[in-house]
Amino acid sequence: METTPATRLEHDALGGFPVPAEAYYGIATARAAANFTGSGLRLQPAFIRALGVIKRAAARANNDLELLPDNLAEAIVMAAGEVAAGRWDAEFVVDVFQSGSGTSTNMNANEVIANRANEILDGGPKGVYAPVHPNDHVNLGQSSNDVIPTATHLAAIAGVQKRLLPAFYRLESALQAKSGEFDGVVKTGRTHLVDAMPIRLGQEFRGYAGQVERARRRVTAAAEVLREVALGGTAVGTGAGTHEQFAARAIAYINDFERLQLRETTNHFQGQSSIDAIVEASGQLRVVATSFLKIANDLRLMASGPRAGLGEITLPELQPGSSMMPGKVNPVVPEAVIQAAAQVAGNDATIAMAGQWGFFELNTMQTVAAYNLLQSIDLLANAATLLAEKCVAGIAATATGPDLAARSIALVTALASVIGYDRAAAIAHDAAATGRTIREAAEGQTPLTPRELDRLLDPRHLTGQ
């Protein structure tokens, strides 16, 4: 196979293959990039960072165990640190849809780190792999089968801690602030989308804040499940080809670098043959997405109108809503959040299916599961931030809610315990037919005095404390 001035020729067991001359990746990556062209999607920088962290820790551990000379270990540590810092993200060129073990991406990391380590050591040409070899040194004591799931767990936990939880705190705080601001605003409650007993707008927002609070608990629990990692199991979970102390030492270095409290699994055979922890974590994210759907839909329904809808709140006006209808402003932020939540639900369906592909000693849907899990974390973090900053913070209450609450037919419920269900129902039907309020329809049809009616039918009183 010929080369051009823009390529170099590398060799493996299958023969020669051209590699871009200046690429830090090598033949394994080049073959994979040529083979897997299905989507144009790449594993996220967070995943690449996790690979760099793992390779750096592995070099430290192998050096401690006297399996890797000091000079090679230090060069690998430096090169892997650069990968973790994002310096070589552009060198990770393999499609998400590849070998299900993620071998191509693991080799992508091994080759980039090996070439960069050799450059650090002696400035030698790329593709020579001496003195540092991608497999013999960078991948020492490891297999794609334990590195890739470990990288997925590491990247997901970091995403939860550094992005998702802070975003949820911001959204919860914004909703709590509005709950206090709107505590005195009475409106009509709705069940089945039909008028029900009164509620305060602040109570509704307290409910939304409670959903986000519980979302924090769910993703915290998901992160805890992901702390158990497969590193050390190598090819099939037996640990063949690695030192018995390698995993413990490498994980200790990862924890020292990242402060993530990872721990080696107590059962490597389940750790590599299944992705149950990823499936569980994704399920928690789907629950959160469902909560976001409910909140976003409620906000846009309460803001519907402004004249022909409910119009109980106004949302910030961010952009014109129509290319045809002048003056129309749409609830664009809730709609964006809804679409993100739908994508998370779709990602969870993919991950659930991926979890079924654990045949014998290996799950072969590692990379698509990793991509979807990390995307869900990013989508929910972005959605929470967007909703908090561009929507919730600028919501205002209108007079429509209290006005509608005062005319609600459902107020008759307060009379039922005094005059009986059937008699109260007759008053409700009369009010609906005549357009009168419950207060007006009840007067003269019950033994209650006007003062008693005023007390029983006070919407604010009916919302509790």
Tally DSSP H helices, then E strands, for the chain. 17, 10
Query: Are 343 and 379 within 8 A, CB to CB?
Result: yes
Q: Judging by beta carbons within 10 Å of its beta carbon (0-12, 13-18, 19+), is residue 37 exposed, middle or buried?
A: exposed
Q: What is the CA radius of gyration of the chain?
A: 30
The Cα–Cα gap between 193 and 281 comes to: 33
H helix runs in 123-236, sequence order: 144-159, 165-181, 201-226
The Cα–Cα gap between 114 and 298 comes to: 54
Secondary structure (3-state) at 314: strand
Nearest to 374 by CA among 110, 127, 153: 153
Confirm whether 104 is a catalytic residue. no
C-alpha torsion sign, points 400, 401, 403, 409: positive
Secondary structure (3-state) at 199: strand
Q: Strand pairing partners for 264?
A: 229
Q: Judging by beta carbons within 10 Å of its beta carbon (0-12, 13-18, 19+), is residue 195 exposed, middle or buried?
A: middle
Percent helix, strand and coil across the chain, each rounded to 5?
A: 60, 10, 30
Confirm whether 429 is a catalytic residue. no
Catalytic residue among 11, 133, 173, 192: 192
The Cα–Cα gap between 222 and 285 comes to: 8
Catalytic residue among 322, 417, 429, 461: 322
The Cα–Cα gap between 206 and 196 comes to: 18
DSSP class of residue 412? G
Q: In 311-420, which ranges are E strands?
A: 313-314, 358-359, 362-363, 396-397
Query: Are 343 and 361 within 8 A, CB to CB?
Result: no
Q: Judging by beta carbons within 10 Å of its beta carbon (0-12, 13-18, 19+), is residue 169 exposed, middle or buried?
A: middle
Cite the active site residues.
Answer: 192, 322
